[in-house]
A and B are shown apart, each in its own frame.
Chain A
Amino acid sequence: MTMRPNLHRRRRGFALFSVLLASVVIFILAATLYFNTRSQTATHARLTEQTKALMAARAAMQLAQYKFRMLPTEFYAFDRVIKTGTPDQIASFTTGWMGDFDPTRPNTAAAKLSQSLGATDGGSYQLGIATFSLITRTGKGYTKDFLQITSWGSFNGVRRSLDALIEVEVTH
């Protein structure tokens, strides 16, 4: 006869405890969801910056291809000097060829494109070329030349690179 009240007394706070626990769990889950969503905003802003940086890298790639198309003989001379020249020659030919792709030098092609890209959305763009080299593959009775170009672009400090291997076609 005395067992039931004791048992009941021992269970008295159980329902309250369960509700409290459930409430805390629901609250923690909801808070996690809310703060996770808010923290994603920074990730999405970064995605936008990365895409803009990639667009700048694409512009740099166009610039490099255009320069090769306009001055192929000069590029082959530059490549020959890079492979066989003296350190002084390599330095001067590198300045001569790669200087256009340095956005930090005033009035270079890369600086002009960087300024133009930043003029509309107010962001800080930079673009340039990291590597510009010739790869020659020798087959049976012929050789194939490829341009290996690595361009880069940055938007507000976020940088993206683009690699391309372009076959050189001789047209008459």
Chain B
Amino acid sequence: MKKPASERSNRNTSATEARTDRAGISLVELLVAFFLIALVVLPIMRALPQSFGIAGRQADQEIALKIGESAVNTLLAVPFDTIAGSAGSRTIPFEIRTGTEVIAANLALNGPLGTGTVRIGRTEFQLRIALRPEYSGPPQSPTAMVFSYIDPLGPVERIATYACPDLFMRIQVDVEYGQKGVPVSLATFRADLRQ
């Protein structure tokens, strides 16, 4: 059944009013939404690069530690002559195992000093090595490494001492990376166990 024209006109007016009302609210909501999102996103945009920068430096520092540790372990494993010999240049290969790959590098020793370079991703890690003999005889000297023991064949049990005649090498590896990264510095000792 066809409705009267006045009723149809009323319905059209109401629908138009509702649409107009809704559209106005959406605009206000949109503006408020933009304001709120800006309020949230702007501090995040400022904080996130800083956060990523810290995370990147931390990752580089961890890699630098691993590289330094690998270099020290290599210098502890090579024949003692390689690190104790003061003349000539020597090249020592070593590997860094990351979670996904094995990276081969070299340590170039020249006398008691050495260098090396490892590039992982976009970061270049520079190694500096210093080998220094410490604590070797002669007895009574301040650099003598003296051990004590009880002489089992002695007439009485008393502590005797023994000054070591061999070298005790101090191995120091510094790893530098990036501009803002804190360099990693590792040091240990290696005894001359050849005898």
A residues with CB within 8 A of B: 1, 4-5, 8, 12, 15-16, 19-20, 23-24, 26-27, 30, 33-34, 37-38, 40-41, 44, 47-48, 51-52, 54-56, 58-59, 62-63, 65-67, 69-71, 73-74, 77-78, 81, 89, 92-93, 95-97, 99-100, 107, 109, 112-113, 116-117, 120-121
Contact = CB atoms under 8 A, between A and B. Distances in A.
B18 A96 contact: no
Contact of A27 (B40, B168, B186): B40
Contacts of A100: 147-148
Contacts of B151: 74
B78 interface: no
Contacts of B184: 48
B51 A19 contact: no
**Which applies to chain A's interface (DSSP): helix, strand, loop or mixed?**
helix
B141 interface: no
Nearest to B145: A109
B51 A33 contact: yes
B132 to A, nearest CB: 9
Interface string B67-109: 0110010001000000000000000000000000000000000
A20 to B, nearest CB: 6
Given A30-B44, A51-B186, A52-B186, A78 B166 contact: no
Nearest to A123: B185
A66 B29 contact: no
Contacts of B40: 23-24, 26-27, 30
Contacts of A97: 148-150
List of 9 A-B pairs having minimum Cβ-Cβ separation, nearest first: A77-B152, A66-B191, A96-B150, A59-B189, A19-B33, A74-B149, A55-B188, A62-B191, A30-B44
Contact of A1 (B11, B61, B168): B11
